[in-house]
A and B are shown apart, each in its own frame.
Chain A
Amino acid sequence: MSDDTKIDEDKEMHNLLALLYPDGGMSDDEELSGQTEDMSSLDSELEGLLGLRSLFSAMPEQEPSDAVTNSLLAMAAKHAPSPKKAPAEAGIWAWFSNLVMPLATHPGLAAAASLVLVAGVAGTLYYQNGGQVAEPLAASEATRPGLAAPNVENTPEPKSDRAEVFLDSVATEVSESSSESREGAQAADVPSDEFVQVGGEAAPPQEVTQKLGRAAPAPASQSSGRKDSADKIVYKPVAKKRKSSAGKSLMDSRAKSAKNKAPQKSSRTKGRSTGGLSPEVRAPSPAPEPDFVRSLVTETDDEDFLKEKKSEDARVVPTGKAAALHRQAQRAAKNGDCATVRKIGQQIRKLDSAYYDRTYLSDSGLKACRLKSSAQ
């Protein structure tokens, strides 16, 4: 096929299509190129193609099923693009906000901040107190230092009715015994103030018990349920010259108390412990020794240790005893016995001056007796 023939065919094709699709199917410069020359030769072919087009135009069109349309609409709704957001504001603040906001809104950050705050406050208070942990302000009766036992073996038992009876009796007779005690203390070069209760249940000195006219305390072995605590509390002389004998008496008393199994029939002393020592054990020397210091049993003779122990014990304030005396004073005040009230007040002041100032003096029930005494 020569080039001229091909060009002619192309022209013919363009002309034919331009005639067949006059509705914009061809560009203007292409339409009917060389139209006037061979239009007659295209007529027959054009007529046949127009007939063909009419056949196809008569073909019916079909509709897709509604299921397809519905599913497409559902998919379009489901996958519809989200509206585009407005462009974020530029600047350092916007950048900083975008950086910090995810962290600031995280709940873990609030928890961490709370932890840091609590730890900071606790640390500040700790260092302000010089590295010491604060003690609770409201101490219980058992944890109060004045009642705390310095030794595990001397842990006091709960206060019983017997103790209260005993303390009451002490309070009533203390005025009588105080003068004698002072005399005895002077004779033994030991101040009467050195009578200090250390641990355990308050036990009367021997002289007090004797003056009360009560029976001697039963041996420890006879005191049911109180043997352990009774065995560990003794009266020990403070004076050096008596220390050895007192230590010896301690040993003897333990040996004898172990041997002494005979029950005491006294109804008043039954079940009551006054130190677990029999009268003969507590008074081994022929001369009475009223100026004993009740102290813990220590197996050492080291004087320095004993002195230190005594000074420590002296700092221990028997608030419980002071409170008992206070109650006794209240009862005496009710009965109008202001002399007893005065004596008990002196005793409380000796025992616990802080309690005396803080509680005893502020007792309105005792105020009348105090005024009467001051007037006298």
Chain B
Amino acid sequence: MAYSQVLVKTGVSVGQRDNPLAMLHDETDEALMLRYQQGEVRAFEILLTRHRKPVFNFILRFVQNRELAEDLLQESFLRVIRSAEKYQRQAKFTTWLYTIARNLCVDQSRRAKHRKTKSLDQSLSKDSEGGTLLDVTAGNELPSDRKLVSKEIHQKLQLALGELSEDQREVFLMREFLDMPFKQISDVVGVSENTVKSRMRYALQKLRMELEEFADMAKALP
């Protein structure tokens, strides 16, 4: 059997055959992690490219501080690097990665409770024209289809997330922004699936109450 026929039979296209990097991009997270276990740094680079943005946004919405979020993102992937040799394929990579990130966020949140922190809506300067901390954490770019959502709504959403308890917030963020199934969320958080659903429902109810004033605007959104 010709080599090209083998590739076709195994689902590898001609373009992928010629480009090893393209083949790596098609690999699952677990396969890439196993490749990195064998010393293939390129596999980790693809993993980082694939997951750095969602993990960073999860951490950023959890801790609501960009610098802190970057530090925690770095620490999360560093732990992945250090623990690469112990990784086993039975565990789903994203479950493992978000467990690390979530634990770091929880630890950071507990440490922050013991010291005074600035409020997100506290003015950065003495005069009220300097903007707030929330302005700093907000994104600089907005997609064209989302320009209708104003800066004020973003601030309100962030504040509403901040009002949630940590248990509700982490479940909401994983379900809403990471599209994780409840079963996987329960694995990451370490509680039962029903508990996750319960927390999710209470989180939604609370957010709905907080954002009641934007209900009409929300109906207008696509």
Interface positions of A (Cβ within 8 A of B): 10, 13-14, 16-17, 20-21, 23-27, 48-49, 51-65, 68-69, 71-73, 75-77, 79-84
Contact = CB atoms under 8 A, between A and B. Distances in A.
B146 A58 contact: yes
B44 A21 contact: no
B38 A81 contact: yes
B149 A55 contact: yes
Contact of A14 (B41, B84, B85, B197): B197
B58 to A, nearest CB: 10
A75 B153 contact: no
Interface string B50-66: 00111011001000001
B206 to A, nearest CB: 10
Nearest to B172: A56
Interface in B126-159: 138-143, 146, 148-149, 153-154, 157
14 contacts: A52-B208, A53-B176, A54-B218, A55-B217, A55-B221, A60-B143, A62-B53, A63-B56, A64-B52, A65-B70, A71-B74, A76-B41, A79-B81, A82-B39
Interface stretch (B4-12, B15-23, B91-99, B177-185): B177-185
B44 A55 contact: no
* Most chain B CB neighbours (cut-off 10 Å) among A14, A21, A58, A83: A58
Contacts of A27: 183
A52 B182 contact: no
B73 interface: yes
Interface string B9-37: 00000000000000000000000000011
Contact of B44 (A26, A62, A80): A80
B157 to A, nearest CB: 6
A21 B208 contact: no
Nearest to B139: A60
B81 A75 contact: yes
Contacts of B141: 60
Given A52-B218, A55-B211, A59-B157, A80 B36 contact: yes
Given A16-B201, A52-B208, A68 B177 contact: no
Given A75-B78, A82-B39, A84-B38, 9 more contacts: A17-B200, A48-B215, A55-B217, A56-B177, A64-B69, A68-B73, A69-B48, A71-B74, A83-B39
Listed from nearest, the 7 A-B pairs whose CB atoms lie closest are A51-B218, A60-B139, A58-B149, A64-B56, A54-B221, A76-B44, A58-B146
Nearest to B60: A62
Nearest to B219: A51
B56 to A, nearest CB: 4
B212 to A, nearest CB: 9
Nearest to A13: B201
Contacts of A58: 146, 148-149, 153, 221
Contacts of B85: 81
A58 B78 CA distance: 31
Interface string B104-140: 0000000000000000000000000000000000111
B219 A56 contact: no
A25 B154 contact: no
B169 to A, nearest CB: 12
Nearest to B221: A54
Contact of B181 (A25, A52, A69, A84): A25
Contacts of B84: 80-81
